[in-house]
Amino acid sequence: MAEEKKILPAVHALIFDDDKFLLIKQIINMDEGELIFWDVPGGKVQHSESPYDALHREVKEETNLDVEIQAPLGMWYFYRVKDSNQIISTLFRCHPLHMNIDLTANPTNERIEEYVWINKQEYMTGQYQPSHPSLFNLIVNAS
């Protein structure tokens, strides 16, 4: 019997410093090779964890940044490669409390190898492939 697919809650941070925002380059190993995309920091909400605590934890794990959560921007979704579960994420506008990014401190096995600060015009060139079109649309329309 096939395993039932799940819908999982997540939170992500669109971290703005002036008119630029942070993207991280993630690489997922697959049988066919590597899947490479640009994402915003974030991840799943754990059982009994508030979405705000999860956002602070995920941003700290992936980037070493501490952030001020300013406002929710909307929701987006994607299907996780390893198990096809659907992730429904709320994207929050955030502001960094410092600029000491460290991608090597991530305690998980996620491959986050690079980061950039870009503005919306740079993002809209298509050079930074997002994990899903719904994230692209949400970022483009974010204020």
115-140 tens-digit pLDDT: 999 999 999 999 999 989 999 999 99
Per-residue pLDDT band at 42 (split at 50, 70, 90)? very high
Q: Are 142 and 93 in contact (CB under 8 A)?
A: yes
- For residue 121, give the DSSP letter: H
The residue ranges of DSSP E strands in the chain, in sequence order, are: 7-17, 20-30, 33-39, 42-44, 67-79, 86-96, 111-118
Per-residue pLDDT band at 30 (split at 50, 70, 90)? confident
- All structural domains of the chain, each given as residue ranges with its CATH number in brackets, are 7-140 (3.90.79.10)
- Give the percent of the chain with pLDDT over 90: 83
Query: pTM for the full model?
Result: 0.93
CA distance 28 to 36: 7
